[in-house]
Structure 1
Amino acid sequence: MAEYFDEGCSRRLPWRKRPAAAQLMAAAAQPNRPFDAVVIGEYERAFYGDQFNTVLTMLQQQGIHLWLPEADGPVNLDDPVHQALMLLLGSQSRREVLRARHRVLAAMHIQARVQGRFLGGRPPYGYRLADAGPHPNRGHASWGRRLHRLEPDSATAPWVRWIFQQRATGRSVAGIARELNDRGIPCPSSAGRVRNRHRTKHEWIVRTVVGILENPRYTGRQVWNRHGARTTGPPHDGAPTRPSAARGWAESDKVTHPALVDEATFLTVQGMRAARPTQHGHTRAYLLAGLVQCQLCGRRLDSHWVKGRPGYRCRHGHTSAHTRPPELTKNVYVREDHLLNEFRARFAETVGDDRSAIADYLRSNDLTITCGGPTRKVKACGPSRAIATMDETVGDQLLLL
């Protein structure tokens, strides 16, 4: 009666997200449909995981039989032979997907590392895509597919070089982002709107500048399967290393496109991001790191060591990508021991007198401390956290929401 064939759709997608399969299910739901059976040509191309049981149930509710060549007719799950057959076909489909995925990922890894091939995606800020000739595979070339390579963009490449130069001189990442915003330089999402329609922000942020400084592509080498994993400490030997050396990225063995920064500068910038040891060689610990928030601007307070003890501060306009508004105070600073002493009485019944236990309790319950205003608050940052409410005053007013 009719043929429904999906082309270019992964079998892992449910039927409702496949165009032809969705049309088939819509036609099966019509009361005046001209068919009473659906024949699947090849199980491995039609189903994955538990999709077969879902589709079979939907069709049986409409009074439609599901036929498979392997079953020599309609499938009957009440038959033990058909049950074993469906389990076998499902395992084969999953096995074929895993094997195909492994082969494709291995091939792309070799193409990026050995051949230095550009394997798609948005070009990094500072580059544009250029034609690199026909596809080396004759079949793909006959279909009109061509290779691409990266070339410096005359409008944005100078700013990438400027970012690396400024960072190499010791300038802070926040200061770089702030000057870019003050100068009105288009950020990556504004410079390439066609490829960044999913991004709505049109200003530089600290994380964007950090992403540029960590990208090895600016050294002229092709990178594939790059993913974020920020370094939490210095290397074991104390020397700066390339991010890809420890993260398993596929990086080309040779230079494949014009570099915007030399290798030495790139490594120097990576070394600047490593944690610096103290003059006594000790490691400074901040129990409430990431748990203290500024009431005035909403940003997390930076961990700050002063006079031999840990504290937290927010310097508006100095560690952010925006200039400090005139109505805000210049700095917000709070000592860690003061916060812990104030909260110790409130959490004594729950966690005891241990300071580390107080910090662990705040993290496990998605609680944050807000400072900088007339009151200090402990509030829930999760979507559904509600612990208790107290109005007692300890120094400043303490609210536990």
Structure 2
Amino acid sequence: MSDNPHDDLDAPLTRWLSSQPQADPQPPHQRRRGLRFAFYGRMSTVEHQDRVTSRHWQWDCAIELVAAHGVIVAEYFDIGCSRRRSWRQRPQAAALLAALDDPDRGFDAIVIGEYERAFSTNQLQHLAPVLEQHGVQLWLPEMHGPVDHQNPTHQALIMMLGAQSKREVQRARFRVVTAMRAQAREQGRYLGGRPPYGYRLVDAGPHPNTAHARWGRRLQSLEPDPATAAHVRWIFTQRLDGHSLASIARALNDASTPCPSNVDPDRNPHRNGNWWTLRTVAAILANPRYTGRQVWNRQPAHTDTSSPQREPLRRNPTKDWVVSTHQAHTALVSEQDFVAAQAIRSHRSAHDGTTRRYLFTGLLRCGPCGRRLESHWVNQRPGYRCRHGRTSTQQTTNPRRKILYLREDHIIARLADHPLLPSGIQAPHDLVTLLRSKKITIVCDQEHCTPTTE
């Protein structure tokens, strides 16, 4: 059956029900259209909510509110949008705002089924001037009618509803995060996401929650993938033998070894799946789940929805990681070898056999683009550069942005007596030791080097 309440008006049963006498038929003189309303509703997720159910209860609340004042003539319903997104970032809400500019828009007011479905925190305060500019009322069930933004009582109620909406999200997040921490630490439970390269998902039995088990939900766990597990073991072996990330990546590409996005393209639609990169090899070597322990909360659980730009992948501090108290799946590398691999810092060898060392490897970040600077030997000196994503196999993403080059001695000079660093540091090695111990990153551009703990 359609979720539109007007789709089945011509069905035989509907016609029969409509023809039956009503208990208190509305007198003809009371049947008037009144105001014309545009209905707005929203549901957060597609996987865990039913669109028909969510839409109908919001629709019914809106109908009950405006029944004696007019009719709903337009509908805007967002699916899969967090309430934290502003209205201009939600497709249907943005379409509703765009319709306000049309003098023939066909509606006089907007009606909401529930405040929390439409707004979060102070979003309504930001929207109010736009509605007032176009002379459009906003009707809320919590107000039992239109919102009067000049009424102190309404202002106080809107502030309370915004705080309540934020509290609802925070309380639900706290409960879910606390439960997931316990499940990962105590049970070693697989909590979703892409399985690491080298593993595949297998059935792990019925869900421990009885109700979920009756609905057919089952747990999943990781087991070594016969096609790729050996590649992971080989990568760790090569790294423990002192090979650089670049040499490991080149060897994998020369052997035509399928990279992670090639093996699992459905879960990696944002990657090309053609070759191994340094970042891919580094990510595998840094993943503690290959020790057989379940590890959760390595990455932030949510992103800033106010920015349309995709931010670079960042990791949570290791102190925030949740590690299972026991092995949850078959290990591909021992814990001792994994820890040893983290301590390896490969150094490039020059043509004359000497080793080139770079003090600030991994400590420098490009201010303009946010990428880490790569080591670069220039004019017989150690230096660092950022090509802003440009490689020999890819077109530059920003042809106007110049490559950032920095000499190591210039970086040391810029950091000397920096107000954000402790005074009295004599040797460059002492400076680097301090930066690593305090987890300080240096953000650089052509003119400045600024320490930051972000």
Please give the TM-score of this superposition, normalised by the length of structure 1: 0.62
1:312 corresponding residue in structure 2: 382
Seen in structure 2, the aligned counterparts of structure 1 residues 55 and 135 have a Cα distance that, compared at 3 Å, is farther
Matched, 1:81 2:153: yes
Matched, 1:366 2:445: yes
2:169 corresponding residue in structure 1: 97
Unaligned runs of 5+ in 2: 1-36, 46-80, 301-314, 348-356, 367-372, 385-390, 393-405, 415-427, 429-441, 449-454
1:177 corresponding residue in structure 2: 249
Pick which of 51-60 and 114-123 moved more: 51-60
Seen in structure 2, the aligned counterparts of structure 1 residues 285 and 301 have a Cα distance that, compared at 3 Å, is closer
Q: Distance in 1 between matches of 2:92 and 2:358?
A: 60
Identity %: 52
Matched, 1:197 2:233: no
- 8 Å Cα contact 2:41-2:118 kept in structure 1: no
2:26 corresponding residue in structure 1: none
Match 1:213 to one of 273, 285, 308: 285
Seen in structure 2, the aligned counterparts of structure 1 residues 90 and 286 have a Cα distance that, compared at 3 Å, is closer
Q: Distance in 2 between matches of 1:183 and 1:38?
A: 62
Seen in structure 2, the aligned counterparts of structure 1 residues 6 and 244 have a Cα distance that, compared at 3 Å, is closer
**Aligned residue-pair number:** 303
Q: Distance in 2 between matches of 1:266 and 1:92?
A: 46
Structure 2 residue matching 1:6: 3-state secondary structure: strand
1:157 corresponding residue in structure 2: 229
2:201 corresponding residue in structure 1: 129
Question: Bigger relative contact order, structure 1 or 2, given CA contacts below 8 A and separation 6+?
Answer: 1
Q: CA deviation at 1:66?
A: 1.3
1:383-394 map, 5 Å: none
Seen in structure 2, the aligned counterparts of structure 1 residues 6 and 214 have a Cα distance that, compared at 3 Å, is same
Seen in structure 2, the aligned counterparts of structure 1 residues 101 and 266 have a Cα distance that, compared at 3 Å, is same
Seen in structure 2, the aligned counterparts of structure 1 residues 286 and 274 have a Cα distance that, compared at 3 Å, is closer
- 8 Å Cα contact 1:286-1:303 kept in structure 2: no
Structure 2 residue matching 1:132: 3-state secondary structure: strand
Q: CA deviation at 1:55?
A: 3.7
Seen in structure 2, the aligned counterparts of structure 1 residues 6 and 145 have a Cα distance that, compared at 3 Å, is farther
Structure 2 residue matching 1:177: 3-state secondary structure: helix
1:44 corresponding residue in structure 2: 116
Amino acid at match of 1:6: R
Q: CA deviation at 1:284?
A: 9.1
Structure 1 residue matching 2:295: 3-state secondary structure: strand
1:232-311 map, 5 Å: 246-273=318-345, 300-302=374-376, 311=381
Seen in structure 2, the aligned counterparts of structure 1 residues 139 and 227 have a Cα distance that, compared at 3 Å, is same
Q: CA deviation at 1:30?
A: 6.0
Q: Distance in 2 between matches of 1:146 and 1:265?
A: 33
Q: Distance in 2 between matches of 1:157 and 1:77?
A: 62
Q: CA deviation at 1:301?
A: 3.6
Unaligned runs of 5+ in 1: 229-242, 276-282, 293-298, 305-309, 315-320, 323-333, 344-355, 357-362, 369-379, 381-401
Q: Distance in 2 between matches of 1:93 and 1:226?
A: 28
Structure 1 residue matching 2:262: 3-state secondary structure: helix
Q: CA deviation at 1:221?
A: 1.2
RMSD: 4.4
Q: CA deviation at 1:103?
A: 1.8
Q: Distance in 2 between matches of 1:335 and 1:22?
A: 49
1:5 corresponding residue in structure 2: 41
Please give the TM-score of this superposition, normalised by the length of structure 2: 0.56
Q: Distance in 1 between matches of 2:284 and 2:278?
A: 10
